[in-house]
Structure 1
């Protein structure tokens, strides 16, 4: 739940309109709560419109059903966002799916293609439609933030499609930063380490089992939380990060340091 004490009309996201994909997941929800508390108006996209999430936010929000791998669905969602709020200042490409934990010799082509279509092509489609609504001189500029992963930089057994898609998000952010800097667009990627989400709990059977299996691999001695990822996302989307673009930001508990 958002911290109501932080929900102020004069927060650092006040007046901004930010679109979030994958808004129903734990990380998407945490980012939405954080940005809403900081004053942003939100367009919240998922395969099913996240109606319950909107009811729990302190600020304006538009829930929409959107398949980010479908170009027509993306166009409709971005257009609806701009029609509702009159502008677009930021995008969080957070929608993601994953395959079973299989090596590529056992992975179906459909599973591979679906993972890349959602995780990587979906981010490209969202950026392609969003940037014209943000670019200078017609508008004030904006931020594209791709939620990548530490697995975009390291290998893991059975995670080829997911890792390739996340590595692609890192490079996509760099390319967008280079191509659109003169139009006032910043583009970055945010790479979390293992985060204690409901998906991870289901995979390991419980939060305690997930911590026991993975926590010791991190210098912090524990897994991350969705709120910690959301805090960094909010910073990168804010004017406080105005000198940051074209880079990947790790929130990984020191995993890649050793």
Structure 2
């Protein structure tokens, strides 16, 4: 799927931009004419992902769980481009695969701090310029595990369910100010994170693909193109919803 979207002049802020999914969404936005702020705790990863200098890119190392760092990121974006049209909350951490009764408080808190509170902090500071402009979109990258449970993924799933609820709350609170808010819930995507867990693509497909009615894992492009659609004018009547791009996983 290739989405025909025009984001010329728009400014998109993407957290977790050093990862495969964040960078994939960034590339889709750049291809649609947007200016993109790449936000990630991994400064070296940001530099490697973005490659050559591009005046449409802004690289901003940030711990999204740190309120002051988040404030500085939004200030830097406004200082550079004077506007903020889309916030993509994609930063996430996956906690150890343990039953909830065995999970440490440290790992539980880490999942909530980064995946959920970090997203709220980004929203808190990004909503100001959006509300003043009377336009904007908050796009939370949630997960199929925000809607269904999986063994050993309780903290991660809880944080992603929170992202879905956060998107709905923002939609209800700020629709009258021109701000839309949606969540996008991917299924398993063939990314470096999945490859690290399973060793290689063939093993990942063997272990996971049969769980999906479509018979395959997702590709980064599947998610990036849906994100681009949700940013486009074609999705202007969509807010407060969770869009699942999960190959039918949650339909079973």
Compared with structure 1, are the counterparts of its residues 244 and 11 closer, same or farther at alpha carbon in structure 2 (3 Å cutoff)? closer
Compared with structure 1, are the counterparts of its residues 196 and 131 closer, same or farther at alpha carbon in structure 2 (3 Å cutoff)? same
TM-aligned CA deviation for residue 240 of structure 1: 1.4
| 8 A Cα contact 1:37 1:58, kept in partner | no
Separation of aligned partners in 1, 2:137 and 2:175? 10
Structure 2 counterpart of 1:225, from 219, 228, 232: 219
Structure 1 counterpart of 2:170, from 166, 176, 179: 176
Gaps of 5+ in 1: none
Report the secondary structure of 2:133's partner residue: coil
Separation of aligned partners in 1, 2:58 and 2:120? 22
Report the secondary structure of 1:34's partner residue: helix
| 8 A Cα contact 1:54 1:62, kept in partner | no
Q: How does 1:195-234 map to 2 (within 5 A)?
A: 195-234=189-228
Compared with structure 1, are the counterparts of its residues 30 and 56 closer, same or farther at alpha carbon in structure 2 (3 Å cutoff)? farther
Cross-structure match for 1:110 = 106
Q: TM-score, normalised by structure 1?
A: 0.93
Separation of aligned partners in 2, 1:13 and 1:59? 16
Cross-structure match for 1:66 = 62
Cross-structure match for 2:96 = 100
Gaps of 5+ in 2: none
Separation of aligned partners in 2, 1:182 and 1:228? 31
TM-aligned CA deviation for residue 106 of structure 1: 1.3
Structure 2 counterpart of 1:247, from 241, 249, 252: 241
Structure 1 counterpart of 2:155, from 137, 145, 161: 161
Runs of 4+ in structure 1 off by over 3 angstroms are 56-59
Between the two proteins, the alignment pairs up a number of residues equal to 249
CA RMSD of aligned residues (A): 1.6
